[in-house]
Amino acid sequence: MVKYVIFDFDGTLADSRRVLLKSWNILAKQYYFREINLNEMEKMKKLSIKERGRYLQFPMFKMPIVMPKFYQLYRESINEVKLYDGIAEMLAELERKGYKTIIISSNSKENIMTFLKSNKLTSITNVICSSSIFGKNKLIHRFLRGNNLKPSEVIYVGDERRDILACKKTGVKIIWVSWGYDSFEVVKK
pLDDT of residue 64: 86
Strand, helix or coil at 34?
A: coil
- What are the angstrom distances between the C-alpha of 49 and each of 75, 129, 134? 23, 19, 10
- Indicate the DSSP class of residue 35: P
Strand, helix or coil at 3?
A: coil
Q: Which residues of the chain have pLDDT under 70?
A: 131-133
Whether the CA torsion 33, 37, 39, 45 is positive or negative: it is: positive
Task: Please tell me the distance from the alpha carbon of residue 70 to that of residue 110, in angstroms, as a whole number.
Answer: 13
pLDDT of residue 63: 86
pLDDT of residue 48: 86
Q: Count H helices and E strands in the chain, helices first.
A: 9, 7
- Indicate the DSSP class of residue 4: E
pLDDT of residue 9: 97
